[in-house]
Amino acid sequence: MKDIQEIVVISGKGGTGKTSVSAALAVIGGSELILADCDVDAPDLHLVVSPVEREREVFYAGELAQIDAKKCIGCGKCQTACSFLAIDKLGEREYTIDPFRCEGCGYCARICPSEAITNLPRLTGEVLISQIKTKTTMVHAHLDVGGENSGKLVAELKNRAKKIAKESNKKIVLVDGSPGIGCPVVSSLSGASLVLLVVEPTVSGFHDLKRVLELVNKFSIQSVAIINKYDLNENITNQIKEYLGQFQVEVVGYLPYDKAFYDAVMQGKSVVESHEGYRDKFAKIYKKIKEIQEKK
Amino acid sequence: MQKSSEKSFPKQKEFRVAIASGKGGTGKTTLAVNLSRWIAQKCKVRLADLDVEEPNSGLFLALPLVQRRPVKRAIPAWDQELCLFCGNCQKVCNFNAIIQTKSLVMTFPQLCHSCKACWELCPAKALHPQEYRVGEISFFQDENMEFIEGRLDVGQEQAVPVIAEVLDYLDENILLSGLTIIDSPPGTACPAVETFSRADLVLLVVEPTPFGLYDASLAVAVAKALGKPLAVVVNKWVADDQLLADFVQQNQVEIIAKIGESKKIAEDYSKGNLIYEDNPEVQENLRSIYDYLVAGMGAKL
């Protein structure tokens, strides 16, 4: 068993209840774990765990080109070289960088004959470290508007969380991941010890599960699943259960379609705090996950 | 920051609406497919699924496939015979996608952004571009509508090349009239920015919970930074409350329809059905949105 267990909660499809599940498990785990909100595009955990900010640090990743108008001779070579259509011509001798399109490859700066282009570190967002109501620490972030490099921000958050876990002698880092299968998800999977898939029994939820599980399996990471709103479509719930079985993915919990989850969020709480009945349910799920971890 | 001349709605060409959500699972795909199918009874519609990491629109449409082709981008290929081992390629790559040892040049396709610098700046022409598959684009059509789907291959990290390929297709094949509806990628990072930047209007689907409203306000900020007009459709609406009122006020947005929370709708959705067929109140919602779009275009669709 590795020193620090990193449990990553992902879903493929968005809105399946990933954050509600993460919040509930965070409350059950309490001070035994460090929490990391790595859904940097749409971070929501802070809305239900009452964070008190302790540290805030700007985070730079990658680069952004900048043209010095005084040095520019208007040759247009930069515009021709740019693969991202990030350089616009404003006037006869005036070119400008579109920061939303620039990927920071630096090619333009290398070929500019008048050395008018420099690459500056790119502001990606802010890393936040907060004390939360479960008497532990949460690492989270603000991604800058239209932020690039969200994968690097995710990697940074996970490193911070692991470091804090090590320093404070905690064994578990619980990561709320991003939807989809792209760079932030890949980044959240690297180094994970267990993946918790939150799945909903809908045609689209099942479709997306297959894709995200294929990705997880490429990383050879063990995964378990929670089927949320299992009673919405029991037919698909059964299909999902059977499908997961083929990949040795154990279903560690079933949650019903229940307004309690909506009510909890409206109160700024996790469902285990607002509805006592769920405390037991999530305690069992948490215990099961820990047992699976310890067996490894 | 925004590119010129897109402030007012165009009249003599298609109107392009990006259906977006900050948070995942708010009903973006549901609105995209239902609105498309319903409006297709009235005018020419095409739908593009740009949620390429998890493309779902097609599951609700079941249209006949017309054509499918791979999406490729260029990555460097190495020619050992010509290589001088000067180290320039490694030096000019900002993404650590190319590494040179004493006797070898290694490339890492998934890190490569296809900027061309390594092969165009190679003094010995020992690198040249080769095609690398990252996903696929599929074209579907029936008598009522056209549907284009972008799909990222599992294991690929960069969604933007697939999104850009679909958007390029849309730009090269602009409709003379009618509506193009885009099922946008969720979130506010590069995939969403690329999609919003090439739409006439962002239609934001919002779930009226603290999670949904917080994420929606991030998406509003992106649309504003890009200079795009935006309107809001509330989904899973329960009641007007202070939370929703504050969101509207703080973000200066207009709500053009509210689709009510309903287990019946959730069940219909779970089966892959179109939700307006069996829920007449949804048809009223779609009518409101249609009216808004027609008025917004300044011309009848």
Predicted local confidence at residue B3, as pLDDT? 36
CA distance B88 to chain A (A): 12
The tens digit of pLDDT for each residue in B55-72 reads 999 999 989 999 999 999
On chain A, the residues whose CB falls within 8 A of the CB of B243 are: 266
On chain B, the residues whose CB falls within 8 A of the CB of A208 are: 54, 56
- ipTM attached to this prediction: 0.90
Predicted local confidence at residue B188, as pLDDT? 82
The tens digit of pLDDT for each residue in A71-125 reads 999 999 999 999 999 999 998 888 999 998 899 999 999 999 999 999 999 999 9
Q: Across residues B16-28, what is the average pLDDT? A: 92
- The pTM (predicted TM-score) of the whole model is 0.92
The tens digit of pLDDT for each residue in A37-51 reads 999 988 999 999 999
On chain A, the residues whose CB falls within 8 A of the CB of B186 are: 14, 41-42, 179-180
- Contact assignment for A105 to B94 by CB distance below 8 Å: yes
- Contact assignment for A180 to B25 by CB distance below 8 Å: no
The tens digit of pLDDT for each residue in A216-266 reads 999 999 999 999 999 999 999 999 999 999 999 999 999 999 999 999 999
Predicted local confidence at residue B83, as pLDDT? 97
Q: Across residues B276-297, what is the average pLDDT? A: 92
Residue in A15, A81, A106 closest to B24 by CB: A15
Predicted local confidence at residue B14, as pLDDT? 86
More confident residue, B109 or A144: B109
- Contact assignment for A183 to B271 by CB distance below 8 Å: no
Percentage, residues of chain B above pLDDT 90: 80
On chain A, the residues whose CB falls within 8 A of the CB of B156 are: 182
pLDDT band at B13 (very low <50, low <70, confident <90, very high): confident
Predicted local confidence at residue A2, as pLDDT? 53
On chain B, the residues whose CB falls within 8 A of the CB of A106 are: 92, 94, 117
Report the residue of chain B nearest A205, measured CA to CA: B270
Q: According to the 3-state scheme, what is the secondary structure of chain A?
A: CCCCEEEEEECCCCCCCHHHHHHHHHHHHHHHEEEEECCCCCCCHHHCCCCEEEEEEEEEEEEEEEECCCCCCCCCHHHHHCCCCCEEEEECCEEEECCCCCCCCCHHHHHCCCCCEEEEEEEEEEEEEEEECCCEEEEEEEECCCCCCHHHHHHHHHHHHHHHHHHCCCCEEEEECCCCCCHHHHHHHCCCCEEEEEECCCHHHHHHHHHHHHHHHHCCCCEEEEEECHHHCHHHHHHHHHHHHHCCCEEEEEECCCHHHHHHHHCCCCHHHHCCHHHHHHHHHHHHHHHHHHHC
Q: Across residues B213-242, what is the average pLDDT? A: 94
pLDDT band at B43 (very low <50, low <70, confident <90, very high): confident
**Tokens linked to B19:** 């259906």
The tens digit of pLDDT for each residue in A264-293 reads 999 999 999 999 999 999 999 999 999 998
Q: Across residues B289-301, what is the average pLDDT? A: 73
CA distance A9 to chain B (A): 15
Residue in A146, A214, A233 closest to B193 by CB: A146
- Contact assignment for A151 to B211 by CB distance below 8 Å: no
